[in-house]
């Protein structure tokens, strides 16, 4: 969706390296969600951020929502092959409309 811009579109990293994926909206977000998708499978929920400045972590994945609630970043520390997949951000702009970003394809080389 053009409502949410993700960057980069694809990423190839060596195992053990850190990486960051960005998600930007032109509108204020009510909620920002990060999902991971493996090829041929459904989306798996990672984290949800609602408050400006909020930061959450799960294992080696950290997500932040900026103070203006228009940009979020997903950071993976010491990447592993199991982190490979497509990462999508999803956003709730009004409480009644939900959009997904275009996705970032991550490849981790052992």
Partner 1 sequence: DAGVIQSPRHEVTEMGQEVTLRCKPISGHNSLFWYRQTMMRGLELLIYFNNNVPIDDSGMPEDRFSAKMPNASFSTLKIQPSEPRDSAVYFCASSLPQGANEQYFGPGTRLTVT
Question: In this complex, which beta carbon is closest to partner 1, that of residue 66 or of residue 92?
Answer: 92
Q: Is 5 in the site for partner 1 (CB under 8 A)?
A: no
CB closer to partner 1, 95 vs 110: 95
- How many chain residues are in contact with partner 1, going by CB under 8 A? 25
Least Å distance, CB 41 to partner 1, is 6
Minimum distance from residue 56 beta carbon to partner 1 (Å): 12
Q: Reduce the secondary structure of the chain to three states and give it as a string.
A: CCCEEEECCEEEEECCCCEEEEEEECCCCCEEEEEEECCCCCEEEEEEECCCCCEEEECCEEEEECCCCCEEEEEECCCCHHHCEEEEEEEECCCCCEEECCCEEEEEEC
- 44 touches partner 1 by CB under 8 A: yes
Contact with partner 1 (CB under 8 A): which of 41, 55, 59, 67?
Answer: 41
């Amino acid at each position: 969706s053009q409502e949410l811009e993700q960057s980069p579109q694809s990423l190839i990293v060596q195992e053990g390296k850190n990486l960051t994926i960005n998600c930007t909206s032109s509108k204020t977000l009510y909620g920002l969600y990060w999902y991971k998708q493996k090829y041929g499978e459904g989306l798996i929920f990672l984290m949800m951020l609602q408050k400006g400045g909020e930061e959450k972590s799960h294992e080696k994945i950290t997500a932040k929502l900026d103070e203006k609630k228009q940009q979020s970043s997903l950071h993976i520390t010491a990447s592993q092959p199991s982190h490979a997949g497509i990462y999508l951000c999803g956003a709730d702009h009004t409480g009644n409309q939900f959009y997904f970003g275009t996705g970032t394809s991550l490849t981790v080389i052992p």
